[in-house]
């Protein structure tokens, strides 16, 4: 029983870079869908409401960040699928931006969740739509984080299995 448990525990470490690429693509696809649902829920929340200038600025930021996240995820998806780019470029887009560059997708995703949470209670009749938007944004953030983990593991597998590196 202990041997089986150890095998199941360390089996993911035996996966190759292609395996991690495919999982990253899957999680990025879930992220795209989650942010699309979140955007629709935010549109229902903000439709026809009267907001203060600060709240309206926050709503505009949410839509801008969701659009930017979707662009970053789409670009990462393309980079992974075509095998013509270094995975380190994808990792920088998702998780670690260059200094003085645009924020990473994970950073923007966290900002979206914070802005949405601060809007809670501003329209009690639409809190259900906002709660759905927050739930989908959190799901998208989680999938984006898992994609970043798989990208990092794919990089690790490519480096360790590279004969020039060894």
Task: Compute the average pLDDT of residues 33-55.
Answer: 90
The reported pLDDT for the residue numbered 158 is 76
CA dist., res. 75 & res. 54, Å (int): 31
> Residue 130: pLDDT band by 50, 70, 90 thresholds?
very high
pLDDT at 63 over 60: yes
Are 78 and 95 in contact, with CB atoms under 8 Å apart? no
Task: Compute the average pLDDT of residues 30-54.
Answer: 91
The reported pLDDT for the residue numbered 118 is 92
Nearest Cα neighbor of 95 from 73, 78, 116 is 73
91 domain-assigned? yes
Residue 101 domain boundaries:
35-45+56-159
Q: Which residue has the tokens 């930017």?
A: 68
10 domain-assigned? no
Task: Please tell me the total count of domains within the chain.
Answer: 1
**Which pair of tokens denotes residue 39?**
């955007």
Burial of 35 per CB tally in 10 Å (0-12, 13-18, 19+): buried
Q: Is the whole model's pTM more than 0.85, yes or no?
A: no
pLDDT at 83 over 60: yes
CA dist., res. 82 & res. 25, Å (int): 11
90 domain-assigned? yes
């Amino acid at each position: 029983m202990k041997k089986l448990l150890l095998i199941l525990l360390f089996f993911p470490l035996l996966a190759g870079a292609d395996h991690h690429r495919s999982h990253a693509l899957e999680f990025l696809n879930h992220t795209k869908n989650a942010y699309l649902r979140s955007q629709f829920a935010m549109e229902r929340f903000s439709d026809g409401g009267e907001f203060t200038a600060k709240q309206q600025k926050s709503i505009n930021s949410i839509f801008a960040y969701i659009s930017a996240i979707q662009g970053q995820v789409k670009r990462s998806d393309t980079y992974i699928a075509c095998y013509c780019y270094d995975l380190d470029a994808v990792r920088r887009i998702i998780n670690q931006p260059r200094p003085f560059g645009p924020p990473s997708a994970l950073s923007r995703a966290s900002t979206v969740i914070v802005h949405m949470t601060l809007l809670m209670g501003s329209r009690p009749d639409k809190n259900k739509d906002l709660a759905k938007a927050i739930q989908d944004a959190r799901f998208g953030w989680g999938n984006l984080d898992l994609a970043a983990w798989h990208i990092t593991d794919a990089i690790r597998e490519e480096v360790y299995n590279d004969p020039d590196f060894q």
